[in-house]
Amino acid sequence: MLYPLNTETRTVLSLNGIWQFQMQVPDEPRDPKQPLTDPDNIAVPASFNDQTTNLKLRHHDGYVWYERQLTIPHVLSEQRLSLRFGSATHEAWVYVNGIAVGHHKGGFTPFELPINDAAHVGENRITVKISNLLDDTTLPVGNYSETTDDAGHRIPHVDENFDFFNYAGLNRNVDLLATPWNRLEDITITPQIDLKANTADVTVHSETTQASGRIQVILRDASDTVVATGTGRDSAIHLDQIHLWQPLNAYLYHAQVTLLAEDGSVLDSYTEPFGLRTVAVKAGQFLINDRPFYFKGFGKHEDTYINGRGLNEAANVLDLNLLKHMGANSFRTSHYPYSEEMMRLCDREGIVVIDEVPAVGLMPGFDFNVSSKANSPKNNPYWHQVKTQAAHQQAIQEMIGRDKNHASVVIWSLANEPATHIEGAHDYFAPLFKLAKQLDPQQRPCTYINIMMATPKRDTCSDLADILCLNRYYGWYIQTGDLDAAAVAETQELQAWQAKYPTKPIMFTEFGADTLPGLHSAYNEPFSEEYQVNYYAMNAKVFDGITNFVGEQLWNFADFQTKVGIGRVQGNRKGIFNRAREPKAAATWLAHRWQAIPNFNYKN
């Protein structure tokens, strides 16, 4: 899916700003033909939850309504008009002047709805009904229930089957797009790189809405010089003396694709950035441009004060600056695809990304203590009853469709901590891995993020993963406070994985300890800043002793908001930065370690 850009043929009008907003009274549907009656102001893009003093709204499970006026200028009236949402969390029904123009389910990927039949030049009313409800058919997975209030209303409740606050609303940009009727619908760029010859054969596949018209492709280098040209809906273009996209040393080319009429006039034009790099898994190593890469970085969240999960570009810029400052090189989009703006930024900055679908909560009964299900029986019927397969396929399709051209993306993560220690998981996941491989033109490695209970003995899906990504909390949820015992158990498990899969690279995609900044302990007590430093020092020592261990992404970059619970103190406090991005002591310790570890050939 193309990112919205102004070009010589296209106009993007931002609909960000203050919208009108109303919470729907449970069980009392509204008629979208009528304007909102007593609305409040709400900012877009942002989650609605932290913009209010109304506790009921902050914790509202159900429907909310957004509304605003849109003036369509005469000059755009001949083009195809559509509304484009960067995301609407988690489900949206969109109306223009009270007329339904479309619907989308899935809270972390963009969608575009044509509106010409419902809109007119001049004033229009845009209305969006949003649901933040989650259940056993959705991703993420929620535990849905209903109660009845005194007035007889059915009140929905969602108990998150995962560890982050269910921030919702119009979390990303909303735009009006005016595009030609005969237009470019999608562009797929697939480079075949010959590292030895320093050349690339780049296929630029252009999809158009109509069969008429011919395609011209111009490739420009980073200094905007034309380096090659091609023609046709499948343009094969050869590049000599290429510049590679490298971790922390990004180099971007641009493909300018033009759809021309037979008379040579421009029907549509769009420019897509792309990078040249290879990714491969070989002999227990993760190779970028044929060199063994070592992941240093984080699991993150889109989570900031006030904006909630809403797009916060200043926070994105700061987070990547902090990441680079620490000597890190990568992060995972835990636990959902992040904004398109963040992905474009990572391409530019040379940040290596593990891109994850919102498949989180695929386990019977989430608990803050992720080790609590250690003894859940292997023959639990969970995977035979699960109803998320359709949503999961759609999420994979939409993530890869959106992010396939990003040089920064090197791995697709198809789930976070599914219960793969329970029988039946393999049948659920095998078709999803197949689908991801079919969809990705670059054939990136695929994985799922393995939960603690899915040990080398109990796990049922690791054969599907190209790289073993483990979330482990030795010294936190288990062997709490005993780092010596934790080191022994962690080493044993890693050795067992390596023995089981001598050619698969292994990395940690989570490990961490909740820490309250300013809390100190001379006795190395959990929650103190000292314990967090010692916890990371213990882990580092273990990692350095495992040959096929190719990366450490800790949990979490920053403290983040969760639902309430006795295991959470105003959210999850495993950040090495607090929520305001102020460093805890561990940030300094880790910066020293990571600055001394090269991006390549660390283990050689």
Alpha-carbon Rg for the chain, nearest whole angstrom, is 25
The residue among 160 and 347 lying less far from ligand GCB, judged by its C-beta, is 160
Residue 272 binding ligand GCB, by CB under 6 A = no
Q: Distance between CA atoms of 260 and 21, rounded to whole angstroms?
A: 43
The residue among 406 and 574 lying less far from ligand GCB, judged by its C-beta, is 574
Residue 555 binding ligand GCB, by CB under 6 A = yes
Q: Distance between CA atoms of 186 and 3, rounded to whole angstroms?
A: 10
Residue 416 binding ligand GCB, by CB under 6 A = yes
Q: Distance between CA atoms of 385 and 379, rounded to whole angstroms?
A: 12
Minimum distance, C-beta of residue 429 to ligand GCB, in the bound complex (Å):
17
The residue among 330 and 416 lying less far from ligand GCB, judged by its C-beta, is 416
Per-residue CA distances from 587 to 244, 248, 324, 405 (Å) = 31, 20, 12, 32
Instruction: Draw the binding track, 568-587, toward ligand GCB (x: CB under 6 A; -: no contact).
Output: ----x-x-------------
Minimum distance, C-beta of residue 340 to ligand GCB, in the bound complex (Å):
23
The residue among 81 and 360 lying less far from ligand GCB, judged by its C-beta, is 360
Q: Distance between CA atoms of 230 and 332, rounded to whole angstroms?
A: 35
Residue 163 binding ligand GCB, by CB under 6 A = yes
Q: Out of 417, 440, 493, 559, point to the residue binding ligand GCB (CB under 6 A).
A: 417
Report residue 378 CA to chain centroid gap: 30
Minimum distance, C-beta of residue 544 to ligand GCB, in the bound complex (Å):
23
Minimum distance, C-beta of residue 163 to ligand GCB, in the bound complex (Å):
4
**Cα–Cα nearest to 67, from 88, 106, 95, 28:** 95
The Cβ of residue 565 has, within 10 Å, a number of other Cβ atoms equal to: 10
Per-residue CA distances from 498 to 280, 292, 379, 472 (Å) = 18, 17, 26, 16
Q: Out of 356, 493, 510, 552, point to the residue binding ligand GCB (CB under 6 A).
A: 510
Instruction: Draw the binding track, 351-370, toward ligand GCB (x: CB under 6 A; -: no contact).
Output: -------------------x
What does DSSP assign to residue 472? -
Q: Annotated catalytic residue: which of 493, 510, 529, 552?
A: 510
Q: Note whether 272 and 187 are within 8 A (CB).
A: yes
**Cα–Cα nearest to 468, from 495, 448, 441:** 448
Q: In what order do the strands lie in the sheet with 184-194?
A: 184-194, 199-208, 234-239
The residue among 247 and 358 lying less far from ligand GCB, judged by its C-beta, is 358
DSSP line for 295-319: EEEEE--S-BTTTBTS--HHHHHHH
The residue among 471 and 553 lying less far from ligand GCB, judged by its C-beta, is 471
Give the distance between the most distant pair of CA atoms in the chain: 80
Residue 160 binding ligand GCB, by CB under 6 A = no
What does DSSP assign to residue 399? H
What residue number has its CB nearest to ligand GCB?
Answer: 163
Q: Is 146 a catalytic residue?
A: no
The residue among 97 and 372 lying less far from ligand GCB, judged by its C-beta, is 372
Q: Annotated catalytic residue: which of 417, 423, 493, 529?
A: 417
Q: Note whether 300 and 331 are within 8 A (CB).
A: yes
The Cβ of residue 244 has, within 10 Å, a number of other Cβ atoms equal to: 18
What is the total count of residues that contact ligand GCB (CB under 6 A)?
9
Minimum distance, C-beta of residue 567 to ligand GCB, in the bound complex (Å):
8
Minimum distance, C-beta of residue 157 to ligand GCB, in the bound complex (Å):
21
Q: Is 417 a catalytic residue?
A: yes
Position 22: which residue type? Q
Minimum distance, C-beta of residue 5 to ligand GCB, in the bound complex (Å):
34
Q: Distance between CA atoms of 257 and 229, rounded to whole angstroms?
A: 10
The residue among 543 and 555 lying less far from ligand GCB, judged by its C-beta, is 555
Residue 296 binding ligand GCB, by CB under 6 A = no
Per-residue CA distances from 115 to 16, 34, 123, 173 (Å) = 18, 18, 14, 18
Minimum distance, C-beta of residue 233 to ligand GCB, in the bound complex (Å):
42
Binding residues (CB under 6 A) for ligand GCB: these are: 163, 370, 416-417, 471, 510, 555, 572, 574
| Active site residues per annotation | 417, 510
